[in-house]
Copies of this chain bind each other. A is one copy, B any other.
Amino acid sequence: MHLFVVNPNSTASMTEVIRLSAVRVAGPGTRIEAATVHSAPASIEGHADEARATPPMLDAIRAAEGRGADATVIACFDDLGLAAAREVARGPVVGICQAGVQVAMTIAKRFGIVTTLPRSVPIIEDLVESYGAGRLCRRVRAVNLPVLALEEDPAEAFARLKREIRLAVEQDGAEAVLLGCAGMAEMCRALQVETGVPVIDPVSAAVKLAEALAGGGFATAKGGAYAFPRDKAAPAPVCPAVTG
């Protein structure tokens, strides 16, 4: 199976973290193709970053299917462009937030999420709500570090993550904790060992669910909302204005 794992930001070192996490859990017959969206922002922190990253990510997904990809994983916890990707793809497309939430709902009655920046908290809350787990997710916590700080100061990031995971269990009643960023994959195992609570790496969750979907023959439904975009004559470049 050919699994396309796209990191929708332009930071190649994060792609490598993601790739390693994917390779670690992939089944024996799975080939992981990890990609960086080079024309995207360096990290995805908010809706505007999402918007900038989505069009080149869609192109990358379409190209990957052209190269034979059987399924796609969008490896950013904002699940940016997920619905659009399902429109342009034929195979299944999995967002790491949705995948992580589905795993969390299956192994625990109540769970928590720990992400990077406070500004991402409502974005993630809205995603979790749309995936039907709003009532089951006790709270979305933030360690208050930018995404790229996970690489720059991993010791500090680890300490903060450990602290928030413990608070999620003790104060919020979480039974498992979902990491809210693709860049946290490396730390997942150690966090689970040190806290003693199941910690879910969303990249691993998404890789396994993507394998499951493709392996089970489940493809995106193309007869309704996820139909391929209609081809319309594409017009000129920049954006002048008409004044009334």
**Which A residues fall within an 8 A CB radius of B?**
10-12, 15-16, 19-20, 22-23, 25, 27-29, 31-39, 41-43, 45-52, 54-60, 63-64, 81, 83-84, 86-88, 92, 94, 98, 102-103, 105-110, 118-119, 121-123, 126, 129-136, 146, 148, 169, 173-176, 196-198, 200, 204-205, 207-209, 211-213, 215-221, 223-227, 229-230, 232-244
Contacts and interface: CB of A to CB of B under 8 A. Distances in A.
A232 B42 contact: yes
A39 to B, nearest CB: 5
A102 to B, nearest CB: 5
B242 A35 contact: yes
7 contacts: A25-B217, A27-B29, A33-B242, A36-B239, A47-B84, A51-B58, A57-B239
A223 B49 CA distance: 17
Closest CB pairs A-B (n = 3): A132-B132, A175-B224, A208-B212
A100 to B, nearest CB: 10
Nearest to A224: B175
A106 B98 contact: yes
Contact of A208 (B57, B106, B213): B213
A224 to B, nearest CB: 3
A129 B135 CA distance: 10
- Give this chain's copy count: 6
A224 B22 contact: no
B51 A242 contact: no
B106 A224 contact: no
A229 B45 contact: yes
Contacts of A197: 221, 223
Contacts of A50: 84
A87 B47 contact: yes
B94 A106 contact: yes
Contact of A46 (B45, B87, B133): B87
